[in-house]
Amino acid sequence: MCTLSKLAIAVVLIVIAPAAFAQGTGTSTIAVEQPWARATPAGARTGAAYMTLDNKTSSADRLIGASSDVADKLQIHEMKDVNGVMQMRELANGLPVPAGGSVTLKPGSYHVMLIGLKKPLTQGETFPLTLTFEKAGNISVTVPIQAIGAMQDNKGGDMGNMKMK
Ligand SMILES: [Cu+2]
C-alpha cells in the first residue's frame, strides 16, 4: 500500500470517528433508555413506541423525527385528556429534551406514532427505530415489543379511546 492511500485512510478515520462517538448511549449525547412498543392486534394500522430520552449534554435538544422500516410514517405525538376524552396530536415542532434533563414517552402521554404498519407488532419480537434529534443527530435503537395492553410501569390512556385531532 502506498503512503498516499494510507494517508487517505487515516483522514477518513479522523472524519468518521467523531460521528461514531455521537451515536448510541454514550455519556456525551442523548441516551435512549428502555425503548419499548406495545404489540398490536391483527389488522392494526397504527402502533406506538415509548422510551426515556436522557439528555447528557449541557444544551437543550429536540426530538424532531423518527423512522423505521415497520411503518410508512412516524410522527412525534402528544396525548392529552380533553374533557375526559383522550386526544392526540402531532408535535409539529418536535419534543424538547431539556439540557441535563430527561423526558419520558409513555402511554397516555408523548409517543412515537407508527402510522401505516407493514405488519402487526408481535410480542417478543423487536424492530429497529432511528430517532432524529436537532443537535444529537440520528440515534438508532432496537425496540422490544411487549404484550398488548402493557403499560410498563406507568398508568395511561387506552389506545382504543384515542382519536386523531
Ligand atoms: Cu399518536
CA distance 147 to 97: 28
- The pTM for the full model equals 0.75
CA 91 to centroid of ligand 1, rounded, Å: 10
pLDDT on residue 143: 98
- Say how many domains are in the chain: 1
pLDDT on residue 137: 95
CA 102 to centroid of ligand 1, rounded, Å: 20
CA 143 to centroid of ligand 1, rounded, Å: 17
Domain with 24, as residue range(s), is 3-152
Q: Which CATH number characterizes residue 32's domain? A: 2.60.40.1890
CA 130 to centroid of ligand 1, rounded, Å: 17
- Residue 114: all three cell numbers together: 407508527
Closest CA to 157 of 78, 69, 46, 64: 78
CA 46 to centroid of ligand 1, rounded, Å: 8
Closest CA to 152 of 106, 102, 88: 106
- Cβ burial, residue 150 (10 Å; 0-12/13-18/19+): middle
Give CA torsion, residues 74, 75, 81, 84, to 10 deg.
Answer: -50
Q: Any idea what the Cα angle at residue 114 is, between residues 112 and 116, rounded to 5°?
A: 160
Residues with CB under 5 A from ligand 1 (ion): 77, 88, 113
Residue 161: inside a domain? no
CA 125 to centroid of ligand 1, rounded, Å: 21
Residue 92: inside a domain? yes
Residue 164: inside a domain? no
CA distance 70 to 132: 17
User: Residues in the chain with pLDDT < 50?
Assistant: 1, 13, 16-27, 154-163, 165
